[in-house]
Structure 1
Amino acid sequence: MIASGRVSIYRGRLIELGLETAVLPNGATIELEIVRHPGGAVVLALDEADRVCLLRQYRHVAGDWIWELPAGVIEVGEDPLETAQRELREEAGLVATQWRELGTMLPSPGFCSEELFLYQAGDLSHVGADTQPDEQIEVHWHTLEQVKAMAVDGRIRDAKTLVALYRLG
Structure 2
Amino acid sequence: MRNRHLNLDAEVVETRSGAVLDPYWVMSYPDWVLVVALTPDDRLVLVRQWRQGARTWVLEPPGGVMDEGEADPCATAERELREETGYVAATLRLVGSIWSDPAHNTNRIHIVLAEGATDTGAHDREAGEELETVIMPLAEALAGVARGLFVHAMHLGGLLLGLQAAGRIRF
- Residues of 2 paired with 1:49 and 1:125: CA distance? 10
Unaligned stretches of 5+ in structure 2? 165-171
Residue in structure 1 matched with residue 169 of structure 2 by the alignment:
none
TM (normalized to structure 2)? 0.86
Q: Could you report, residue by residue, the CA deviation over 1:111-136 in whole angstroms, capped at 9, with x for unpaired residues? A: 11121000110122322111112011
- Residues of 2 paired with 1:72 and 1:45: CA distance? 14
- Residues of 1 paired with 2:75 and 2:13: CA distance? 34
Equivalent residue of 2:41, what SS?
A: coil
Cα separation, partners in 2 of 1:27 and 1:141, compared to 1, 3 Å: same
Equivalent residue of 2:81, what SS?
A: helix
Match of 1:154 among 130, 148, 155: 148
User: How is 1:37-48 mapped onto 2 (pairs within 5 angstroms)?
Assistant: 37-48=29-40
Residue in structure 2 matched with residue 11 of structure 1 by the alignment:
2
Residue in structure 1 matched with residue 26 of structure 2 by the alignment:
34
TM (normalized to structure 1)? 0.87
Q: Which runs of 4+ in 1 moved over 6 A?
A: none
Q: Does 1:97 align with 2:90?
A: yes
Match of 1:115 among 104, 108, 112: 108
- Residues of 2 paired with 1:23 and 1:40: CA distance? 29
Equivalent residue of 2:75, what SS?
A: helix
Residue in structure 1 matched with residue 157 of structure 2 by the alignment:
163
- Residues of 1 paired with 2:137 and 2:154: CA distance? 18
Equivalent residue of 2:142, what SS?
A: helix
Q: Which amino acid aligns with 2:35?
A: V
| Between 79-88 and 46-55, the greater mean CA deviation after superposition | 79-88
Unaligned stretches of 5+ in structure 1? 1-9
- Residues of 2 paired with 1:100 and 1:13: CA distance? 27
- Number of residues of Structure 1 aligned to a counterpart in Structure 2: 160
Q: Does 1:59 align with 2:59?
A: no
Equivalent residue of 2:78, what SS?
A: helix
Q: CA deviation at 1:86?
A: 0.8
- Residues of 2 paired with 1:99 and 1:26: CA distance? 45
